[in-house]
Structure 1
Amino acid sequence: MVKEEIIAAVKNHPSNKIKFAIVDIDGVLRGKYIHKDKFFDGLDSHFGFCDVVYGWDSADKLYDQSSVTGWETGFPDGQARVDLSTFRKVPWDRDVPFFLADYAAGEPSRGVCPRSLLQEISQKAESMGYHAQFAMEYEWFNFKKTTESSDDRNYQNPIPIFDEMFGYSLIRLAQGSNYFNDIFDQCEAYDVTLEGLHTETGPGVFEAAIQKDSILRAADKGVLFKTAIKEIAHPYDIVPSFMAKWNPDLPGCSGHMHQSLLDDKGKNLFYNPKGEHHMSELMEHYLAGQLHCMPQLMPFFAPTVNSYKRLVEGAWAPTTVTWGIDNRTTALRVINGKESAMRIEHRVPGADVNPYLCMVAGLASGLYGIENKLKLPAVTKGNAYENKRVKKLPSNLYDATQNMKRSKLAKELMGAEFVKHFAMTREHEWNEYIKTVSDWELKRYFEII
């Protein structure tokens, strides 16, 4: 739809309100309803939105250190600019018009909005003649809602909606048909069309692959999907969880990122019918760049303390800086069946990832490899967990954040200002973790020590 059609659709909508949202550093949508009059009044400029959304964590706790905003600034409004191209209606919320917005915080404006950063990297790719085509693929667990009280909601021993391990189950699809059908159909009505939806191995775990799109739209769909699932699930008394690893005895939840580059005519630039594995030289450089940059950009792919509990051997998640052909033990899996499907599946991100930031890091590191004509290391065949000659991925958020914080390359690719802010937020996350006394510690030390 063109601008005039979108404006007409909002004006003619029977509701007197619209909903819009920005995305914070953790990939959480922060939004509100506003009246139509206010929407049209600020459409050509911006809307005020308190910049505390970039001064607190996912639990609304203020960061230990100030970066973009803080008490010393008085937490003023930042500028939220609605992107009309993101227009859609929310089918489970009376078809209310919905938009995403870009955000500028601080004075002068500070570049900490993940969506804005992705646009910068995407524009760089366009200037090089490449059109980035991406897609997100999520796994998540679904639990029975047992209480409405947040005071009682301690998430101990949650009960999955289905029992036992049952991947690709048609029986479970039938048993939960209303919920499954609502996910598939309502996401499509929300302009987040799914390519596939099925049960994964694990009690109550689903997997959804979102249809590929241009990189910004793909990231938009990635963040909207997670919120959509939580809202669609609510009437069913189901609580979805996109934690990377909720149970040590079960597989974790991935947030795999699929990537390819196209030319102006839509030709897949990763494909070469005469190349080894049908890979073009451009794709080899792109892959090499991702491998080279990966250890220095890990918080973009694994942003929480919990992320690293998924990245363990034998758990369908990578632990090494490796690539392979249709190899699900490597960090980067090349899918090379045919030209239209030729792509890289980045298997490091979990379902807890911010899709804008993992796409920023994925595209920026790939372009770095192209610009510097990096040579692709040897392909990994067989079990990558047993490959002792390759680098290991960082094993915890603290080490990963320090690598990124010290990295000149990270600052070069993402901007020193953004890396400084992002590193501060990840250090805050780590500090919140280490000062917590866990159930494991109580059970192990309470009486015997």
Structure 2
Amino acid sequence: MKNTSEILESLKASDIQKVKLAITDIDGILRGKLISKDKFFKTVNDKLGFCNVVFGWDANDAVYDNSEVTGWHTGFPDSMASIDLITFRKIPWDNNTPFFLGDFHQSEDIEDVCPRSLLKKIAAQSGEMGFIPKFSNEFEWFNFKETPQSLKDKDGIKPTPLTPGMFGYSILRSSQNSEYFNELFDLLTKFGIPIEGIHTETGDGVYEACIEYTDVLEAADRAVLFKTGVKEIAYRHEIIASFMAKWNTNLPGCSGHIHQSLWDEKEKNNLFFDGKDSNKMSDTLKHYLAGQLHCLPHILPMYAPTVNSYKRLVEGSWAATSVSWGIENRTTAMRVINHGEDSMRLETRVPGADANPYLSMAASLASGLYGIKNKLPLNIEPTQGNEYDNEATLSLPKTLTEATEQMKSSDIATELFGESFVNHFIKTREWEWQQFNSKVTDWELKRYFEII
């Protein structure tokens, strides 16, 4: 159901007694609560109070000491979240409990830093330019024979992979855990996250899934709910699913590639396609691609937000290391897929599975629109062959702190996303680096403890 009146009437007529609501924090983590049916209907025409600490702490609930938006200095008041009725779903693995996403759109104190609200703003800009953006995410993630308790008992290290060995596209490996594997496809689809395909990837216990494309906001909703849904379904089988960008030095990382195209307002014509061009690329696509390439070094933390993200962005790892593009080239940052008019699209290969989908899609769309608005020429030559051997292209920042400093000093980020968001986001990434930098690691102990 996509008619809000129908949704509300169906819930009123049902015998359900509770509803689950969630918003997404700056790291793309769902933060939510279970409320009564009565409470839900009281908030539908009003708003729901939600403690704004969700934008004042990190992924481990440690309170930022550098945030201006909220903090101890504000007393952590409630901000007013809006429930988006169009996001209605039932959770098939949780007794079909009704579920809704919310955000802080039109909540004056927090709207500017809310990831979903930011994407809404960028999508609206696209609409004003006459474009309908169609997006989808594909994810890779590792699965482990662990529970949260068993992993804690191991001090969070040396988890046991679900299956052994490098065996991409394996029918055998997926059949080893067929109940879990099939539940992922079936239950996620029932949850309103239609899966286009799922298979094993190369690595111990790693899967990859592609989500069907749709309009950009719904695509980001699906991506966020996919990650949480996979984790919840995995728990049912005493499995932990990890979307960490690079959990093991010797194994490939986990990507969160973004597929995208722009369509006309009637959604009939793919504006990235031009049958007269040698590569089937329209001028719109060329400007859009030029915009993404131009902006990429200035907004990289929105694609690679954690310290660990940059362990994935290394040569020979199926991940991007430079400002580059190519036709059907999986060694470049941007891959143009030109199979036909309906499927003509751009794949942004920089984001890892650890990226916040609202922010990575906002970054992709905003930078692409920047290229169109400014009619940027596509003056970077497409890579032929192995981009890792190309010394002519600009390298991406190597660490979170380097990338954050570049974003902080750039006017482009502020132009794309606004001063309030950029200021807050940069502070959260600086905090993330500080937390890492203050800790003594196993690597340091092994290297220096006895010998130095």
Q: Where on the TM-score scale, by shorter chain, does this alignment land: which range? A: over 0.9
- Aligned partner of 1:8 in structure 2 is 9
Which of 348, 351, 354 does residue 356 from structure 2 map onto? 354
Which of residues 298, 318, 321 in structure 2 aligns to 1:319? 321
Amino acid at match of 1:195: E
Query: For residues 141 and 169 of structure 1, what CA distance do their matches in structure 2 show?
Result: 15
Q: What are the ranges of 5 or more consecutive residues in structure 1 without an aligned counterpart?
A: none
Which amino acid is 2:176 matched to? Q
Q: CA–CA distance in 1 between the matches of 2:150 and 2:196?
A: 36
Partner amino acid, structure 1, of 2:296: M
Distance of 1:426 and 1:412 partners within structure 2: 19
Q: Deviations over 1:84-123 (max 9, x none)?
A: 0000100001101000001269864541100000000000
**Deviation at 1:386?**
1.0
Aligned residues with identical type, % of pairs: 56
- Residue 10 of structure 1: CA displacement? 1.5
Q: For residue 159 of structure 1, what is the amino acid of its counterpart?
A: T
* CA shift for structure 1 position 173: 1.7
Query: What residue is the counterpart of 2:180 in the other structure?
Result: 179
Partner residue in 2 for 1:441 = 444
Partner Cα distance (1:106, 1:268) in 2: 35
**Could you tell me which residue of structure 1 aligns to residue 291 of structure 2?**
289
1:390/1:223 CA distance change after superposition, 3 Å: same
| C-alpha deviation, 1:12, in angstroms | 2.4
> Which position in structure 2 is the counterpart of 1:368?
370
TM-superposed CA distance for 1:66, in Å, is 2.3
Once residues 69 and 269 of structure 1 are traced to their aligned partners in structure 2, the CA distance between those partners, rounded to angstroms, is 42
CA deviation after TM superposition for structure 1 residue 158, in Å: 0.8
2:28 is equivalent to residue 22 of structure 1: no
Q: Secondary structure at the match of 2:257?
A: strand
Query: What code does the residue aligned with 1:169 have?
Result: S
Maintained 8 Å contact 1:255/1:353: yes
Offset, 1:153: 4.6
Query: For 1:204 and 1:109, how far apart are their aligned partners in 2?
Result: 39
SS in 2 for 1:141: strand
The Cα shift of 1:235 comes to 1.5
**What is the CA–CA distance in structure 1 between the aligned matches of 2:125 and 2:106, rounded to whole Å?**
23
Tell me which residue corresponds to 1:395. Answer: 398
Pick closer, same or farther for the CA change 1:344–1:407 going to 2, 3 Å. Answer: same
CA contact (8 A) 1:144 1:160 kept: yes
Deviation for aligned residue 1:360: 0.6
Unpaired stretches in structure 2, ≥5 consecutive residues: none
* Aligned partner of residue 260 in structure 2, secondary structure: strand
Structure 2: distance between partners of 1:444 and 1:13: 62
Secondary structure of 1:195's partner? strand
- Aligned partner letter, 1:67: E
Selected match of 1:419 from 400, 407, 422: 422
CA deviations over 1:300-328 (Å, ceiling 9, x no partner): 10000000000000011010100000000
SS in 2 for 1:89: strand
> Counterpart of 1:271?
273
Q: What is the SS of the residue equivalent to 2:67? A: coil
Aligned to 2:39: 38
Instruction: Give the Cα separation in 2 of the matches to 1:209 and 1:7.
Output: 31
| Structure 1 pair 17–439 and aligned structure 2 pair: CA distance change class (3 A) | same
Give the whole-Å Cα distance in 1 for the aligned partners of 2:133 and 2:107: 30
Secondary structure of 1:49 counterpart: strand
Deviation of 1:155 after TM superposition, in Å, equals 2.1
What amino acid is the match of 1:439?
Answer: D
Letter in 1 for 2:352: G
Aligned AA for 2:285? M
Q: Which residue of 2 aligns with 1:257?
A: 258
Alignment of 1:89-238 (within 5 A): 89-103=90-104, 108-145=109-146, 148=149, 151-238=152-239
Q: Indicate conservation of the 8 Å contact 2:151/2:157, yes or no.
A: no
When the two structures are superposed, what TM-score results if normalisation uses the length of structure 1?
0.98
RMSD: 1.2
Amino acid across the alignment from 1:187: L
- Residues 115-124 or 150-159, more deviating: 150-159
| Equivalenced residues, count | 449
Counterparts of 1:231-246 in structure 2 under 5 Å?
231-246=232-247
Aligned mates of 1:394, 1:410 — CA distance in 2: 16
Instruction: Give the TM-score of the pair, scaled to structure 2.
Output: 0.98
| CA deviation map 1:317-373 (0-9, x unaligned) | 010100000000000000000111100110000000000000111000000000111
> Residues 150 and 315 (structure 1 numbering): CA distance in 2 closer, same or farther, change over 3 Å?
closer
> Cα gap change, 1:206/1:149 in structure 2, threshold over 3 Å: closer, same or farther?
closer
Q: 2:104·2:111 contact (CA, 8 Å) conserved in 1?
A: no
Aligned amino acid, residue 300 of structure 1: M
SS at match of 1:19: strand
Matches of 1:6 and 1:146, distance apart in 2: 36
User: In the TM superposition, what whole-angstrom CA distance separates every residue of 1:161-200 from its partner, at most 9, and x where no partner exists?
Assistant: 1010110001112111101110000001000000000000
